[in-house]
Structure 1
């Protein structure tokens, strides 16, 4: 973007991380189910597995388990095990996960401002006989 000082020029285009230094962040934060899980935990607070599954209806139990484990490993989610009968496990967003809130707010604003333009561009592209 011309004039945007937040973008930097990589030193080499052969190293994928040098070519796009935010790629590791995108892999962590924007994996298929990461954003809905973090959004749900941020919005509704601490929840049990079943509550998360009810709120994110399209996710399978297996995938939810995998994503929660990865998010816990990445430090974005805290898992609390309560040794009761029956055992109870709760998940909540960590401080590190909460630190993504401004990014999500910015993306929400971008979506509000620009998704209609994206849809318009798609319609124009799809109806252009040259494509």
Structure 2
């Protein structure tokens, strides 16, 4: 079992390392650069070449049953769920076979709305302490479910 983190703009890398280390799990922090490598021997910092979705493809090619993937990227989440991995968003929300279709449809709808109104600003919520706490709890539960 491994944990894969889509690390570009990920606010919970330290929490992943904390939970993963407690359980002795191999953690892959994947990005296209700009991250300081961890000194933790369980953590591999993977730097992929620049390009759209290169980090996502690296994760999708490797994640499978028993693994946990941390991402806010909905198409990546769908690929990982299809491969049998558990997926968590940064706020602790689990993406599953049951809800990924609706989440993909909502994502596409929002992209269409943004394209129709190029002056539309913001819309995203800030990351809160409650989100961080929910994420820690969800990751702990996901790791226990995958290893048990």
Higher strand share: 2
Query: TM-score, with normalisation over the residues of structure 2?
Result: 0.24
**1 or 2 for the larger relative contact order (CA 8 Å, sep ≥6)?**
2
Indicate the structure (1 or 2) with the bigger Cα radius of gyration.
1
